[in-house]
Amino acid sequence: MTQTLSVPQQIPATAEITDDDHAAVDTAALGELLLGRWADVRRTARELAGRPEVHKIEGLTHHDHRARCFDQLHYLVEQQAVHRAFPAAFGGEDNHGGNVAGFEELVIADPSLQIKAGVQWGLFGSAVLHLGTAQHHEAWLPGIMSLEIPGCFAMTETGHGSDVASIATTATFDPATDEFVIDTPFRAAWKDYIGNGAIDGRAAVVFVQLITNGVNHGVHGLYVELRHADGSFRPGVGGEDDGIKGGLNGIDNGRLHFDGVRVPRTNLLNRYGDVAPDGSYSSPIASPGRRFFTMLGTLVQGRVSLDGAAVAASKLALTAAITYSTQRRQFNGSSDLVEEVLMDYQRHQRRLLPRLAATYAASFAHEELLEKFDDVFSGRHDTDEDRQDLETLAAALKPLSTWLALDTLQECREATGGQGFLIENRFASLRADLDVYVTFEGDNTILLQLVAKRLLTDYAKEFKGVDFGVLARYAVSQAAEKTLHRSGLRRVAQTVADSGSERKSAIALRDEDTQRELLSDRVQSRVADLAAVLRGAKGMTQEKSAALFNEHQNELIEVAHAHAELLQWEAFSRGLQKIDDPGTKEVLTRLRDLFGLCLIEKDLAWFLMNGRLSSQRARTLDGYINRLLTKIRPHALDLVEAFGYGQEHLRSAVASGAERERQEEAAAYIRRRRASGDAPIDEKTLLARAAREKKARKARKTGAAAAAN
């Protein structure tokens, strides 16, 4: 049989899109939607964040920056800006979602201030509130809220960061004195990276292994006084300054250690575990593992707030970079008179608009996370399942938004050239400050591993108690699905449906159900494959089971990442349903499609190798994304304007309009020179003129010769 090579069909650079080219964005309505349920709180917080009193002053020494941030905490107290989540009985509002929504906006003023405030009230204060009981609230919450008691959240140790269960600091109960004795047994057990730990902290919630009557009951928190009023350490407490960091240098991170430090038994934050005077231990949660995760779950707001702060930072960067890119001109490829606006270059659109789409997706997803958080902590929906869902959602979204913020800040820095490298434009400064967001409140990779394990657990629950017949039918259906994908039957079906038409392929790709199917199938099939591989771990020794998981750890992380992206895409799609204005909905749908198709493009190899996408549709993808970019480009300024950040928030020279003024000045100068007749002639113009004249002379000679003949 003779084999012939087929010539691949040429795919045009763009696909036809027949939607409304005259769509417009209602920025006011879209901005209101983005503000979410706590719109009034966000507006109040943004007004505060726009004040010079809370702004970061670049170039300060870390000593001066720390002092300024501590003073700013007092300013926040005076403005009643940080007490929303505390009980009304102590002057708060019992408004957990609103508290986080307002807290997130502080990143606009100074990330160091945001995190320092988070240490004082979001970690230290929340630990007392959620892990303590009435006696602790009455004793310490008023001082924590007023900043009379500056405090620390002493959990992380030099030797154990994300692995909280393995921390080594101990608190051993001494029934003879009714006290706990806190010890740091070795150097790796020092509490490390503790905000307020170097200078300002007067007390701390210290997390320890709780030992009583010779039994270790696992991790618990105790309220411990660290320093005297003059700032000197109390007996048995020691520590040192972490020094200058890669960012967030307004926070005095430090190390703490304890040598026989005694605290009253009643300083144990005993909501989930208590010790009686005789040393007996009691807890409302019998399971040690469940108790541990319940205690940590009460502190999930740190991840929730970092997710929101990272989204805010991405919005800030994109507003500045896109504003600049619509004013800055470079190179005159299409005209001898006017240079091109940066945003009209396809590559510039590729750099910024997919990140704009991802930021919108992250914003819609964060609002849903915040609502879930408020439902749980308000008590409206506070079952074990609700808390597990909240923890999983936060663990899924925080990694994506913090990675997105760093990526967006770097791309915006590069997209604004040398201007972006200047500290006055904030990209480099914000990126340095947000760098640590990807590893604190849970290392991103570890968090995604937790998400993957939850996916596997849920997958296993689907078949718990199911009879053999159902399992057999499922196995057959799975085999059929794999046959469909691996044999290429699905790809053939797609090719037949598209009839070789790039336009039909594009229409299929832009279909919401198609995108949902591709993105959800990517997660479901990977979870099923992992579950099949890891199912045998149950019968193995601990060592072999751990080795098996380690062999597939990367796959676990990848499936969790894909799951988080699906959550964002679904949140974006639900957000579209809340938009009434047709023009705004049209533009936002394009932006959602851009987000979804960029996710598919990023993982295109998987979709092709696993038979989910035909080569025809894969070849169409790039051109269709480019076409979407041209459709979104006219609305880029409207889309960032809807974020609602003014110059008092941006504080970026490239977004101030100065570039537009420079361009207008340059254009006016050139017009005047040309009108005056005194403008020098460009050498290229002379050469071109000479070439034309030479060509004309040659033509005349040729014509004359022809006439003579």
Q: Which residues pair with 154 in a beta bridge?
A: 206
- Say which residue the tokens 């009304």 belong to: 88
pLDDT of 687 = 85
For residue 347, what are its two tokens? 């590559």
Among 247, 243, 305, CA closest to 428: 247
Q: Which is it for the CA torsion 438, 441, 446, 452, positive or negative?
A: negative
CA distance 598 to 279: 59
Going along the chain from its start, the domains and CATH numbers come out as 27-146 (1.10.540.10), 152-287 (2.40.110.10), 301-647 (1.20.140.10)
Instruction: Tell me which residues of the chain have a pLDDT lower than 70.
Output: 1-21, 333-337, 462-505, 709
3-state helix, strand, coil split of the chain in percent (to 5) is: 65, 10, 30
CA distance 230 to 163: 34
pLDDT of 505 = 67
203-212 and 151-154 as β-strands: parallel, antiparallel, unpaired? parallel
254-264 and 274-275 as β-strands: parallel, antiparallel, unpaired? unpaired
Q: Which residues pair with 212 in a beta bridge?
A: 215
Element (H, E) at 523: helix 512-534
Amino acid letter for position 46:
R
- Say which residue the tokens 């650079």 belong to: 13
E strands in 38-190: 151-154, 170-174, 179-183
Length of the chain: 709
Q: Are 220 and 171 in contact (CB under 8 A)?
A: yes
Half-sphere exposure at residue 178, Cβ-oriented, CA atoms within 13 angstroms: 5
Half-sphere exposure at residue 465, Cβ-oriented, CA atoms within 13 angstroms: 2
For residue 310, what are its two tokens? 């990272």
pLDDT of 496 = 40
Q: Which residues pair with 210 in a beta bridge?
A: 171
pLDDT of 484 = 46
pLDDT of 7 = 30
CA distance 84 to 374: 12
CA distance 275 to 175: 10
pLDDT of 1 = 35
**217 φ, ψ (degrees, to nearest 5):** -95, 15
Cα dist. 85→2, 89, 93, 115, 529 in Å?
76, 12, 6, 16, 43
